[in-house]
Every structure is written in structure tokens, then in C-alpha cells.
Structure 1
């Protein structure tokens, strides 16, 4: 980058050095010494042509971009030939064809220049720029009026029978006017006004003044002291400008397209337009009309020029209005992008916060309430995982449309992120409108959403908050969010109304979360072990490791309170690693303390959904088995039925690897979730655990015994064993035994207890009868 910029700067300096050097040479040319003038003429003419060729080679333009410059080289060569012929055949008073040979020689040069400038306009797309084109037309008309008044009329008045030859000389300034208009169009078009543009424009102006001088000299309106060689200075200055333009690095940008952009009429252009009107008018008034036709032409050109200027000003004003409108629309579009969700086009969190702040202030003044519904889609991740994010986006758009159709025109439906939507009800809403709307939404979402993959059903969890006016927007959102999570905890597909009790509960939850983050490091967590017994043969088979938390301030915290927090925050992952290692080490210690002929024991550890994702659980299990020496068959991992279904692909992959290691997989809380035979067949599980709620329900008249019987039969049909949880009475034990249930756990056999408690069961005879196990644990039943 640095070397490229350095080379560009050096090239720019070379261009200006060429311009400065030729300027000094032109000063020498004005001395009048024929030898010096001839030398300067040769050096500048040849140098300018060589500079163009050198610039084309240095900057390596494409053939299409280089073609206009080669036209310029051809034109300059023709002009050099014309100048040489002019010096060889000085014009006299007799108008012969030989006297006009120089003029005839430069005609191809003008045609080549017109072609070159036309190509430049096309490459730069400057011809598409209306303001630039209008300014060029103004300059052309003004220059035509001045040329007509100062040159053409005097030539026609003086020429007599030789008018045809005089008109040939007068035609060159007209061509120069066209070239100047084209150069002006290049200069005024959009894009930076690079040095190359000023050089080219200067060259066009030089040609116009040079040809005017020659034409005036031709009709005797130039002082006798002014020679053709002196007039050549103007042409040579134009030559030098072309050479400097080709050497300047900005020449490569002359052919870069610059699409038209609406711009305001700047002060520079206003001054230019005024000059275009005044200068030709003054020039025309300086030379009186020779006849009526001359007056008519002058009036016509003046009227055309005036009308063109007025049109230019009006169009500039219109362009300014259009530009202002475009800027306003762009500002509105930018504002909308900043305040609306790009996917659903619903208002976003920023606009919601602004609106709530305004509505809350108005409600405070009116003594009214403000209502908010915070909606989250249940298990939206499963949609993305199963069908991809494109279908997930389809669903979000469909949800946005359905919600928008359920509110009043004055209410607000927003998407504040992910699968979260907020419905804000205007402050004059009826008192119970929020609750009734939430109930309608829950009912309406039972209707499938038609998507590209088919009909998809998704359920909402909605938090509703009603607060007095003046409540801050962030507080409203926070409380509605809390209520939404309450609806999720209640089983999803429902709504919950925020109240102060819920706020206290949330505050307590936050306190527990903060305390839980350091509980493991502080040694506040421990494991209690509940025995699992063989119902049919009698005897202890193992234990379930259950997590307990003893907080120094809150005391014993229920697992029902802190386990969900650990799962939601991800703390369950490091805690789960610790549980695995602690339980395996404890069981191995007990196994080693048992008699040699005692049956093998196992320990069952609960695994959270988060632990099933990725390879961390697999690595932890391998490390635990290696560190403790516990056989893989002695480690049981319990995975809830609903947890396995939440991310089935990931869960299946992890469970299959664990099964391959020899770990026993248990499906926990079976019957509370999908309870599908096909799902049970799919999962690599050896144990099915019946939820305690069904065991407790067996005592009722129309209880759950039929469900338990069905689960046992289904599991046995698939070669799985069954564990019944929550067995507390002998009647339950006997019924389960009659139903051919394999294993059981519950307070009948022993409460969860720390490993430091009575370990009399370690020395029980083999196999230990169920009654003995019960007796060993009976002392630890809660009173």
C-alpha cells in the first residue's frame, strides 16, 4: 500500500513538473527569437505526444479505456501538421486554396478530438448526468452567441465572394465550442474533479481562444504586431495541458463510470451560470448587428440561452426538493431499520421501550393501568433443529402475523429477540383485556401454522403484567418476563399473571442462583444415597445418588428449588461432573468393604439434558471410571424421558456411546412424558423407572395400577427391567411384586441418607432380605 501511494505521488509530481517545464518554455517562446520559437514548438509538440504515449504505457489502461487517448494522439499529430503548413504558407490577402491548406489539414484532428471526448463521456457515463449536460449546453449556447457576434458576423460581412473559405476558418471556433461543452460535461459530472479534468478543460479553452485569435487575424481584426507564432503559444499551452493530463495518475480514473447523483446547485455553478449569461451578452452588445438577420440570430440565441438558464435553475430547484425527499425517506428508512425487526417488520425492543415510557406517563396522568404480555414459544429450538433456521424464520413470521391480527389497532405487537414477542396494550384497555387476550392466544395457537414443511404446532408461554401508570418500561418487561417463566414452570402452553408474591419468589430464586454459584467450592453440596432393592428375590442391588444442599443462611434447600436453577444456568454441568466422581468413588469404597461373596452393587446418577450435549459427559465418565476403578456395569445413568426427547439426536448419540462403554442407561420418570413404545424401543436403555406419582396413585380406587401394569408389561416385552419409585407402604410393595415389577426404591426401604450414616447393611447376609434392608433404613425414615 505504501509503495503504491509513493509511486502515485511521484507520478503526480512528474505531471506538474511537465506542466511547469512547458510553461517556462512558453515564456522563452514569447521572446520572439525565431530559432527559440522553433525549438520550443518542436519540443512541446513532440513532448506532449510522447507524454500521452508514456502515460498510456505507464498506467496500462484497458484497450477500451485507452482508445480515447489514442484519438487524442492522432488529433495532436494533425494539429502539428497544420501548424507546420501554416508557418510554411503564411496567409495573404488573396484567398486561395493553398492559403487554407493548414486549416484543411487540422479538420481530421477536430474529428478525432470529438470522437475521443465522446468516448470519454461514454466511458465515464457523464452523458447520463442531467445537471452536467445542462451546464455543458449553457456553455455551448453562450460560446456560440459570443462567437457569432465577435467572429462569424464580421467574417460574413467582409468575405464577399470568398465567404466559403472564410467560413471554413470560422468553423473551427464552433467546433471548439462543442469540445468545450464536452469538456465541461466531463468536469461537472459527478465524481471528484481530478486534476486530469482541469487539464483537459484547460486544453479545450486554449483551442477555442487560439482558433478565435487566428480567425480574427484572418479578417484583420488582430493587431499587426501579433504574429502567428505568438498565437501558437495558446495552442502549445493546450498541448502541454494534454501531456500533463496523460502523465497524472488521475488519468486512470477519467474513464471510471460515475452514475448520476442528484446534487444541489452550489455557489460555484451559480457564478458560472451568471457568467455564461453575462459574458456572451456583453460580447454581443460590443459588436453592433450588421443587418436584421444578424439581430434575429442574436435575439434567438439570447432567448434560448435565457430559457436554458431558467430551465437549469428550475431543474436544480426540483432536484434539491427530490434530494431532500430522498434524504427524508432515507432517514425514515434508517429510523425504521433501527426500530423494527428486519424479519417480521414488527417494532423491536427500542421502539417498545419508547412507546411504553410514553404510555406509562399518560396512564399515570389518567390514573389508569398499563398492561403487557410477554410471549415465548415453547421448544422453538426443536423447530430449528428438525427443519432448519429457514423454517424457524417462517414460523416467526407466521406467529407475528397471527398475533398482529388478534390485537386492536392502537395496541403494539413487538418482537424483542429470538422467539420472544411482547404485546403492549394501550393505557385505556379494559381491566381484564390482558388476561382474556392471553387465554385467546393460547387457544388460537392450538391451530397449526401452515409452513413450507407442512402444518406445525407450537405452544406459547405467556407472562401477563398489569401495573399502575408511571411504572418504568424496563420494570414492566422484567415483571412480564418473570411471569412468563412462571407459565413455563407450570407446564408451558399457558399464561401466568404477575403479582408481588411472584416477585418475592423471583427474588428468592435470584438469591439462590447467586449462592449456588459458589456452593460447590464452599463444600455446601453433598450426596445422599437411597437404596434400590430387588422386589422379586429380595436383597439390596444398589443406590440412587441424590444431591443435597445445606446453605449456611437458608438451611437445607430443597432439590425442587435449586436443581432447576442449576439446569437453567448451566451450573449443572460442573456439578454433574462432581456428582459422578463422588458417587463412583463412594460406591467403590463400599464395594471394597463388602464381603467377597456379596452381590455386586450399582450407583444410579441423574443426568441433566445439558450434560447430554457435546462430549463432556463422555469424557467425564471415562475419567471417573479410570480414576475410581469402578466397573462400568456398576454405574447407572438416569435420563428423563422428556429430556431425551428435547434434543433426541444429540441424546441418542451420547447414550449409544455410553451404552457401548458398558454403562447402564435408565429412563427416569417414565409415564410423565411421551410414554411411547416406539421411543422406548429407540432408546438404548436397560432400565425403565416408573414415576412416584403412579405408584402413589395405586392406593386410590380408580388409581393408576392399570398404568403401572401396562408400563411393566411394555418394558418386559422390550427386554427392559422396571424400577418403581416412591414406594412407601407394604401394600404398594406387594402390588408391585404381584405386577412382576423388578426393582423398587422409596421410604419403605430407606430414606436418602449420607454415606456417614449407619452402614449396618454392609454386613448383612447375602442375599440381604428386603425386610432386613427395610429395617436397616427404618431408623432413618422421617418422623
Structure 2
């Protein structure tokens, strides 16, 4: 992220100033090109000052650019370049001070500047090598071979037309022959720079500046060698101008912000070979071959060198073909693995699992095999993700994958086919009970904590087991195991269940029910029924509980026990619950308007689903509904279940406290059927506790639940809560509850849940004497 003055956040954290702007690099190039032009075409007396000025500007740029653009650990290549530049400068000064060192043919004194030039080349070559190592994307990058091909071709041409004539010329001195070997260094440089150019990754300005600089160095050395060997008759100006241009471009590369890309590993980009690259490789092979064929035979050494270079070119091309083929095979294998394995756990995915099961099915009949699948789903995995975050969730999935792998045989398959869903596939003799035995072991294993970065975490699993003697399709077998897993979840989780055909019918009915439920609200098939809640002391109406009912034209009346769980699982409950809240509040306000301000206030009690409780929009929905209807907040009761609260107690408390702040009354529904409510009830901002009907059935007849109901009444009253007893169906139950001090009751003794238009008698009912 940019900061003021062009300094990035990364720069600030690294303790270095911001990068140099690109215009400074191009400005340096413009000034440098001007100096090169003056040096090449201007008056001779100007050459030395122009050369000196170019060198000074280059050294300044080599100091400023890396300091501003690179972290200290990335500046090594440019430190080497500065060392090389310093050695070149020393050699240049010696040649300027002692003109005889530049005499043609050279004398022994020419060795003095050359003793600085050779180390300078070594420093420069090592700098290019460091850049290449840092930038290179992969070891099998074809740029390596292509660069070697370019270098070999350059070596062949250089040997044939430069080195060989110098070595075998009778007119040249030993020093001239030695100078003629300098292009060998340039060939090595060319190989390194060619790799930088051909390697994958971004090719930005700094890279192109470096490539052109290396080309200038090669041209300058070539001209110097040809002149020194008296193979061409030119002055020193062209070669010196080429060197000066190199001294402009390399510092410009260090100044440009993109110089960072030269020291950073580049992502390899796989692309088809370009026509230009194919042409260059073709010329590299063809030109040396043609030259070798056309040129007459010379000395044995000369012919052997040319033949050896040609052979190396051919072998390099062959190596490139082999390497390319191997890379293609490896890429295909990697692509295949990515397509058939889970990226997080590296387990086989659904595709590979299906292929394996299908292959087993082909052998099942002849080898009398039974194929078994264990479908494993982690219980309440979402709670772990929500509490600790997805990173810890991923940790847990990897730990589960490892533990599952420890429990199976080498020939079994452990696969991950979904978020927290795993499948183990087994093939065994039909008389063996491997699947059942493994399911038992896995339940024991899941009882042991998983050691994660946040500490020890325990998670249970629901397991579905399906078997086939080979007739079932792989996907059908996975589906059957999945169906059995849901049976295990429905039985209370942390268990395994075997698949049978009746489950398939249940799933088909469930899917049919789910499809019919989608759109039921829009089609007007849902209705709100209201059951009276009565003051047990006066038998006076205190309010109603709103209950959702569904009458489908296709399926008829569908029990809430059947469609509410489906609505919660699919998320439909949020839209349905919001509709029921608005409809219930609207209806209660209508009744209050009919009864008038002097009548006893009524309330309406609306159930809140677990999904609604965990949704932050519930508070706004309630607030908006109350404001739109004008209903007093105290007239709205919201019923929550113990299991809904305990699914995520901290998140639930945030929502419940916000609702309590609005003034609505909160109720604990089905009290006593869920978690240990005694330890949490004091933390919840509730005003009403509803005793579940299962505790009311036998009260008044010396039933076993009477002590429990007495204890609940005493405890809740001590906390200041009121109590509603559900499921009151007899006068005996009513009288016993009244004697125990219960506050409110509801049940068929007073009336069932009915449509609003059928409750007129309750609304108009006079107050009992």
C-alpha cells in the first residue's frame, strides 16, 4: 500500500526509503545516451571528459538505485557490479595515463590494465549468476538449455571468425592471441544473460536494460578483439562507446523500481514455444552446421574444436527435447494428481474414490468381494470454524485425515469428498465384518483429543456404512453410505448406522418434502395458528403461542415435526420465521385494538430457530417489526430452546442481551430436555421458563416427574422467573399445577392451536368472576 512520498508499507517496515521513481531511471538513460552520442560523434578532446562524466553518473546511480529499491539482503548483485565497475575504472585510468598500453599490436605493458579487466569480468559474471539464481523459477526451466544453445552458437562463430584466425595467424604476437581469447568470457556472459531473458516470469524494464547492457559489452569486446588482432582497421571509439553505453544501462537498471523483479523468484509460466524462439533454435543448429560443411579443412585442433562445438549443439538440442518431454510427463502427472486428490489433506477425492470403487466392482463377482464404504461426517464442525477460525478447522481436517489413515490397511482408500466429509473404502471377503469393526475403532479414536495449535480439541463423528457385492454403482454406494450417516446423526450423533433400503425411501420422501417446502410461503400454503396461554389462578387469557402450520395441496397437512427440521437445515427457516414473526405481531395488535385499552394486556409467543438466533439480523428484524406494528415490546415473547442457546452460548448471549434491551420477553422452551440448564439459566436474560409437556403427563397422579416439576417451580421462582406448563390436558393436571404455584398453562384442556378467526370467543371472553 503506498504511503506518502511513494514509500510503501513494506519499505517502511524494512527501514529503507521508498523506491526511486521510474522517471529517474529513464532520465539517466537519456543523459547517458546523449553522452554516448557526444563521445562517438563529437570532437576528440571531448571524449575523455564525457567518459569521466558517464562513469561518475553511473557510479552514483549504482549507489542510489539498490539502496532505494532493494532490501539489504538483495543488494549483493549490485555490490558485485560496483566492484567490477571500480576495476574497469582503474584499467581505464591506466590506459589513459599510459597510452602505450593501448598500442597496436599490444606490448607486455598491456598486461597491467588486463590484470584489472579479468577480475572485473569475473565479478560481473558472478553478479549475473546471482541474479539468475534468485530469479529462476524452476530447475527444469527450458531457458537453461536454450541459453546454452545460444552460447554454443556464439562460441562457434567467435572461434571460427575471431579466435581461430588469431591463434593460427603467423603475424600475431602471443599477447594478441591472448587478447583474442577474451570473447570466451563474453560467451559465458551471454549464456547467463540469455537465461535471464528466456526464463519465465515478468520481463520488465530493468531486465531489458540489463540484457541490452550485456549485448553492448559483447559488441564492445568483439570490436576490441578484432581491432587488437588487426582483423579490422577501426579506431578505439566504437568499442569504448559500447562500453560507455553498458555503463549507462546497468546503473539505469538499478535505478528502475522493477529491479526488484531481478532478485525475486519468478512464477514459471508454461506457454507454447514462440515462433521467434523456434527460429533462433533452428538457426543455432543450422548455421554452425552449414559453416562447418562449407569451410575447408584446417588444422586438426581447429577442426576438432568446431566439430566438438557442433556436436555439443546437437546434443543440447536432443537434451532439450528429452527434458521437454519429461517436463510434459511430470506436468501431466501433477495435473492428474491435482484432479484426483484433495488440495488440503492430499487424500484421494471423490473422482479417484469413484474410480477405485468401480475397479473393485469389476472384480467383486469373480473374486467374491464385498465392497464397504464408511461415510464419516464430523459433528458440529462449523462450531470449531466459527470459534477458532478456518485455519484451525483446516488443522483439524488434516489431523483427522492422518488419524483415519492410521486405522486402515494399505489396500484401503481414505478419501475426502467434501468440507468435513471423509469416506473409507474397503474390499474384503463377504463373511468378514471389517466395516463394522473399523467403525467401532474410529468412534473410539475420535474420543481421543486432537492436538492442534489452540490446544487439545475433541470432536465426535457420525458414520454411515453401506455395502455391496459389486452390483451397485460407485456413486450409488457413496449416496447410500451418506444416507446411513444421516441416520446416525438423527440417532444422536457420535455413532454409526448401517444402510438399508428403507432409508432410501425415507430420503426420497424427504427430498420430495423439501422441494414442496421451497416456495410454500410464496404460494400462501403456510399459516399461523394460535394456542391460548391461560393464567392458572384466574383462568383468564394471558396470550397465545404462535405455531406455524403447512397445508400442501400435494402432500396435505404436514406436521411441523417433519417440515421444521428440514426448514432449519436448508436455511428456509429464516425467511419463514421472519414472516411468522410479522404475522403474529400484526394479529396480536389487531386483537388488542378489538379488546380496547381497558382489557387485560395480551402477549404473543413466537419461536426462534437456531439459525435465527445465530443470525445478527434477528435483533433488527424484531425492532423493525415492533416499530411498524406499534406493539409494546413487552407483549412480544420470543421462545428459544436450550439446544439453540448451547450451540454457541457466547454468540447467543450477545443476541439475547440485545433483544432484552429492546424490552421483549425471552422464554426458555422445552426446559429440562436439553443441556444442564441449571448451570446456564442464571446467565440468560430470560423472564419465562416453559416446562416441557413430557414432565406434565403424570403430575397429579403421584407420577415420577412431580418432584422434578416442584424443583423447577421453586428454582425459577427463586430467580424471579414465571413458569408456563405445556401440554396440560386434564383438570387433574391443572389443579395440581395450580396447587404448586405454577403461573401459566397451555394445552388441549384449554384449547388447541387454531386460526385467528376461530379464536373470537377467547378474544371476546369476559373476565371470570
- TM-score higher than 0.5 here? yes
Q: Distance in 2 between matches of 1:86 and 1:645?
A: 91
Aligned counterpart, 2:115 = 111
Gaps (5+ residues) in structure 1? 26-38, 92-99, 156-165, 215-229, 286-297, 769-783
Q: So what's the TM-score if we normalise by structure 1?
A: 0.74
Post-superposition shift, 1:566? 1.6
Match for residue 220 of structure 2? 203
Mapped pair 1:184 → 2:201: no
3-state SS, counterpart of residue 674 of structure 1: coil
Aligned to 2:494: 493
2:126 to 108, 122, 126: 122
State the match for 1:150 in structure 2. 168
Distance 1:212 1:453, change over 3 A: closer
- The one-character-per-residue Cα deviations of 1:160-201 (angstroms, maximum 9, x if unpaired) are xxxxxx9xx522431441x32221111112222734434322
Distance 1:358 1:686, change over 3 A: same
Q: Residues 430, 207 of structure 1: CA spacing in aligned structure 2 closer, same or farther, 3 A cutoff? A: farther
2:354 is the counterpart of 1:346? no
Tell me by how many angstroms 1:212 deviates.
Answer: 2.7
Any residues of structure 2 matched to 1:767-782 within 5 Å, and which? Answer: 767=768
Once residues 701 and 347 of structure 2 are traced to their aligned partners in structure 1, the CA distance between those partners, rounded to angstroms, is: 52
Matches within 5 A, 1:71-470: 71-72=87-88, 75=91, 103=107, 106-125=110-129, 146=164, 150=168, 169-177=173-181, 179-189=182-192, 190-192=195-197, 194-213=211-230, 231-232=233-234, 237-243=238-244, 245=246, 252=253, 256=262, 284-285=299-300, 332=333, 335-363=336-364, 370-426=371-427, 430=431, 432-467=433-468, 469=470
Counterparts in 2 of 1:751 and 1:9: CA distance versus 1, 3 Å: same
Matches within 5 A, 1:657-696: 657-696=658-697
1:643/1:120 CA distance change after superposition, 3 Å: same
Aligned match of 1:557: 558
Q: Which has the larger radius of gyration?
A: 1
How does 1:19-98 map onto structure 2 within 5 Å? 62=66, 64=79, 65=81, 68-69=84-85, 71-72=87-88, 75=91
1:290 — aligned with what? none
Q: Which position in structure 2 is the counterpart of 1:773?
A: none
Q: Secondary structure at the match of 2:607?
A: strand
Alignment CA distance shift 1:259-1:670 (3 Å)? closer
Contact 1:666 1:685 in 2 (8 A): yes
Q: CA deviation at 1:506?
A: 2.4
Between the aligned partners of 1:57 and 1:390, the Cα distance in structure 2 is 48
Aligned to 2:229, the other structure's residue is in SS state helix
RMSD: 5.0
Q: Distance in 1 between matches of 2:582 and 2:163?
A: 101
Structure 1 residues 400 and 698, CA, compared in 2 at 3 Å: closer, same or farther?
farther
CA distance 1:116–1:279, change in 2 (3 Å): farther
Which residue pairs with 1:583 in the alignment?
A: 584
Secondary structure class of the residue paired with 1:192: helix
Distance 1:429 1:9 in 2: 82
The Cα of 1:667 is off from its aligned counterpart by 0.6
Contact 1:373 1:422 (C-alpha < 8 Å) held by counterparts? yes
DSSP-derived class of the 1:549 partner: strand
Deviations 1:222-267 (A, max 9, x none): xxxxxxxx6335x555345435555668983899569999x99977
Q: Partners in 2 of 1:108 and 1:251 — Cα distance?
A: 30
Give 1:408 deviation, angstroms: 2.5
Contact 2:167 2:177 survives alignment (8 Å): no
SS at match of 1:622: helix
Deviation at 1:666, TM superposition (A): 0.5
Does structure 2 retain, via aligned residues, the 8 Å contact 1:595–1:763?
Answer: no
1:716 alignment partner, SS class: helix
Alpha-carbon spacing, 1:358–1:9, altered in 2? closer, same or farther (3 Å): farther
Distance across 2 between alignment mates of 1:69 and 1:481: 71
CA contact (8 A) 2:61 2:252 kept: no
Compared with structure 1, are the counterparts of its residues 649 and 181 closer, same or farther at alpha carbon in structure 2 (3 Å cutoff)? Answer: same
Q: Secondary structure at the match of 2:757?
A: coil
Rounded Cα–Cα distance in structure 2 between residues aligned with 1:465 and 1:110: 82
CA contact (8 A) 1:724 1:745 kept: yes
For 2:528, the equivalent position in structure 1 comes to 527
Question: How many angstroms does 1:145 deviate by?
Answer: 9.1
- Asked if the contact 1:689–1:725 (Cα under 8 Å) also holds between the matched residues in 2, the reply is yes
Change (3 A) 1:316 1:595: closer
Give the aligned length: 693
* C-alpha spacing 1:302/1:707, structure 2 compared with 1 (3 Å): farther
Alignment check: 8 A CA contact 2:90 2:113 kept: yes
TM superposition score normalised by structure 2? 0.75
Aligned CA distance change for structure 1 residues 488 and 756 (closer, same or farther; 3 Å):
same
In 2, the alpha carbon distance for the partners of 1:47 and 1:284 equals: 46
Note closer, same or farther for the CA distance 1:429–1:281 as it changes in structure 2 (3 Å cut). Answer: farther
Structure 1 residues 258, 698: closer, same or farther in 2, change over 3 A? closer
Q: Which runs of 5+ in 2 are unaligned?
A: 1-20, 67-77, 134-143, 199-210, 269-276
Mapped to 1, the partners of 2:410 and 2:327 lie a distance apart of: 29
SS, match of residue 680 in structure 2: helix
Aligned to 2:656: 655
Contact 1:146/1:281 (8 A) holds in 2 = no
For 1:697 and 1:44, how far apart are their aligned partners in 2? 115
Q: Per-residue deviation at 1:548?
A: 0.7
SS in 2 for 1:696: coil
Q: Could you tell me whether the CA contact under 8 Å between 1:359 and 1:427 is conserved in 2?
A: no
8 Å CA contact 1:45–1:239 kept in 2: the answer is: no
Q: CA deviation at 1:650?
A: 1.8
Question: More deviation in 530-539 or 333-342?
Answer: 333-342
C-alpha deviation, 1:494, in angstroms: 2.4
Q: CA deviation at 1:657?
A: 1.6
- Rounded to whole Å, the distance in 2 between the matches of 1:423 and 1:697 is 48
Q: CA deviation at 1:50?
A: 7.8
- CA shift, 1:668, in A, is 0.7
Name the residue aligned to 1:291: none
- Matched with 1:642 is 643
Deviation at 1:739, TM superposition (A): 3.6
Give the C-alpha shift of residue 752 in structure 1: 0.7
Deviation at 1:413, TM superposition (A): 1.3
CA shift at 1:334, angstroms? Answer: 5.3
**CA deviation string 1:40-75 (max 9, x = no partner):** 988999988888788888998657445645655665
Flag the 1:521–1:466 CA change in 2: closer, same or farther, 3 A: same
Do structure 1's residue 518 and structure 2's residue 519 form an aligned pair? yes
Kindly indicate whether the alpha-carbon contact (under 8 Å) linking 1:44 and 1:239 is maintained by their aligned counterparts in 2.
no
Whole-Å Cα distance in 1 between the matches of residues 700 and 321 of structure 2? 86
Once the 2 structures are TM-superposed, how far is the Cα of residue 709 of structure 1 from its aligned partner? 2.9
CA distance in 2, matches of 1:439, 1:448: 17
Residues 249 and 635 (structure 1), Cα distance of their counterparts in 2 relative to 1, 3 Å cut = same
SS in structure 2 of the partner of residue 462 of structure 1: strand
Q: Secondary structure at the match of 1:370?
A: strand
Note closer, same or farther for the CA distance 1:302–1:729 as it changes in structure 2 (3 Å cut).
Answer: same
In 1, distance between residues paired with 2:498 and 2:298?
88
What's the CA shift for 1:397?
2.9
Instruction: Please identify, of 348-357 and 265-274, the stretch whose mean Cα deviation from structure 2 is larger.
Output: 265-274
